[in-house]
């Protein structure tokens, strides 16, 4: 399937960058850092499998290998929890005219994104802080929430039938590309505050995802 081929291609790209890191000639000024943080995320483009989920939160972990004063290689693991929005969901069912239908409560689970990515980050001195920009490629594993709607059907004889209609509940991989912009603020000699906005788009079956995050960066 096309989906599997794309996932394999994205995996090869990730492995290429992972093998590139230990072969890089780091200078004496280079350092390693880790970042831990989180923030707000939004599923902006909803004409896809995730059309009924919109806003949520993200928790992330980065580790960076600085190559020089301006460039670093970065690896990211993140978890996103996207809320189900009942107002976006409509149950489309068709029954004969002789039947009456009463649609009950709809309950939807949140959708979850699990990210593995790698990329390049640039840093530029600007007054008392640094501006940062990043380009990442990676893979989302998406666990789509299950939607349950209770429905009561009444036939022409007054008999009542109760049933549940389900939607969602799929799990799938999506390769993606992400752009990020933000700022890096020094808190101490070995700790920085990173504020960053990211825009990620999948390369198949378009899912457009944004995140605004803050994380503490610890330098080693």
Q: How far apart are CA 42 and CA 81, in angstroms?
A: 10
Residue 118 lies in a domain: yes
Q: How far apart are CA 137 and CA 98, in angstroms?
A: 54
Split at pLDDT 50, 70, 90, the class of 184 is very high
Residue 203 lies in a domain: yes
Residue 157 lies in a domain: no
Tokens for 150, please give them: 């209770």
Residue 64 lies in a domain: yes
Q: How far apart are CA 180 and CA 131, in angstroms?
A: 11
Instruction: Indicate the pTM of the whole model.
Output: 0.81
Q: Is the pLDDT of residue 176 over 90?
A: yes
**28-61: pLDDT as tens digits:** 455 899 999 999 999 886 566 788 999 999 999 9
Contact present, 183 and 132 (Cβ < 8 Å): yes
Residue 102 lies in a domain: no
**66-80: pLDDT as tens digits:** 888 889 999 999 999
Report the 3 state secondary structure along 26-52: CCCCCCEEEEEEEEEEEECCCCCCCCC
Provide the domain limits for residue 29. 2-88+109-143+167-219
CATH number at residue 120: 2.40.160.20
User: Residue 97 in 3-state DSSP?
Assistant: coil
């Amino acid at each position: 399937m096309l989906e599997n081929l794309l996932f394999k291609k994205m995996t090869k790209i990730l492995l290429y960058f992972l093998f590139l890191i230990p072969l890089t000639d780091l200078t004496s000024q280079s350092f390693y850092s880790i970042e831990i943080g989180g923030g707000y995320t939004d599923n902006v483009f909803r004409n896809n499998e995730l059309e009924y989920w919109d806003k949520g939160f993200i928790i992330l972990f980065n580790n960076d290998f600085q190559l020089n004063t301006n460039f670093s290689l970065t690896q990211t693991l993140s978890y996103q929890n996207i809320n189900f929005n009942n107002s976006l969901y409509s149950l489309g069912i068709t029954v004969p005219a002789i039947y009456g239908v009463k649609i009950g409560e709809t309950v939807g689970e949140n959708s979850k994104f699990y990210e593995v990515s790698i990329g390049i980050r640039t840093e530029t001195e600007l007054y008392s802080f640094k501006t940062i920009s990043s380009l990442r490629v990676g893979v989302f594993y998406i666990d789509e929430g299950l939607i349950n709607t209770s429905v009561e059907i009444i036939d022409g004889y007054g008999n009542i039938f109760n049933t549940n209609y389900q939607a969602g509940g799929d799990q799938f991989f999506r390769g993606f590309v992400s752009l990020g912009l933000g700022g890096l603020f020094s808190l101490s000699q070995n700790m920085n505050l990173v504020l960053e906005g990211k825009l990620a788009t999948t390369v198949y079956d378009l899912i457009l995802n944004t995140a605004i995050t803050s994380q503490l960066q610890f330098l080693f």
